Amino acid sequence: MCIRDRNNPALNSSNYDAIYVEYYDEEVAYYMYGNTSARLPDFIIRNNVINSEASWGSGIDMYTGYNPYYVNDNSYIYFGGWLIDNNTINAADGIYLDYYEFCYDNEDNSTTEIGDIVIINNRINADDTGIYVYYDDIGYEMYDNASLIVGNVIIHNNTVNCTYGIEVDYYVYADEYSNVEMGYLNITDNKVRNCTDDGIYIYYDLEASDYSTISIKRALIDGNIIYNCTSDGIYIYEYIYHDSNAIVNLENPIIRRNDISYCDTGIYLDNVPNCTIMANHIYNNSEGTVSYTHLTLPTN
């Protein structure tokens, strides 16, 4: 699906989100079984001016809850990807993509795939969050040998002025023999300015039970300019829990070649045991260059 209007590119909303995509709870790919398959659309949103005047409205908002729901046997679902390119967005939240309890009650040998999320070349002025990708309890209640495959997230060359700049949250679960595989996160060459909270915020909460596996590729934060953010320039948090026979593999993040100035702390790593930090220019921050807190968390 493509949203692109060369002749009249302004998309305005006074009371709601300017562009809103909702997959109703428990109604997408409900009770698939056998060797069935389904393919949902990719979204391409390009070359628009997008305005929402609502105090809570988003420029681009997607929500899905409890979907796909109760998928069994050898069924396969492609849930689509996103290309959001070269838009000007003025809203409370610029871009907000929320995957809530994704793959709920999927079982057997079913496979679900989310395509890549590519957010590039946008200019965003937001009262709250500029760019937010929220994997919210994905893999929850996924059993047997079911698999969830999630594509890369690429956030590149955007200009963001807002409360929170760029935020990506991973709340990921796996049970029994299920498997979750997630791609790379690349946050590169963005300009994040004048945030009253964190410039770039990444949060991992990963929990694997029984004999399940969670695997997430590395995060790369490279070449960004982060200026005048009240809290941290870059913040990363990790929490990992797994049973003795389960596996969680989170590749180490890389933070390099960023220019961070006039923030509270340049880089704050919270419970991140291993991270590559190199060739950053960090100066004129209130609390210091790099703050590091590491805790030992339990593993059964």
Which strand ranges, in their side-by-side order, compose the sheet holding 43-46?
Answer: 2-3, 43-46, 82-85, 117-120, 153-156, 185-188, 219-222, 254-256, 276-278
pTM of the model: 0.93
| Average pLDDT of the residues in 15-33 | 87
The confidence score (pLDDT) of residue 169 equals 98
The confidence score (pLDDT) of residue 26 equals 86
The confidence score (pLDDT) of residue 145 equals 94
Please enumerate in sequence order all residues whose Cβ is within 8 A of that of 8, keeping only pairs 6 or more positions apart, or say none.
Answer: none
* Dihedral class, residue 80 (left if φ above 0, else alpha if ψ from -120 to 50, else beta): left
Which tens digits make up the pLDDT trace of 53-103? 766 789 999 999 999 988 889 999 999 999 999 999 999 999 999 999 999
The confidence score (pLDDT) of residue 183 equals 98
108 band by pLDDT with thresholds 50, 70 and 90: very high
The confidence score (pLDDT) of residue 286 equals 84
Q: What share of the chain has pLDDT > 70, as a percent?
A: 92
Torsion (CA) 183, 188, 193, 198 in degrees, nearest 10? 40
Please enumerate in sequence order all residues whose Cβ is within 8 A of that of 9, keeping only pairs 6 or more positions apart, or say none.
Answer: 47, 48, 49
The confidence score (pLDDT) of residue 52 equals 86
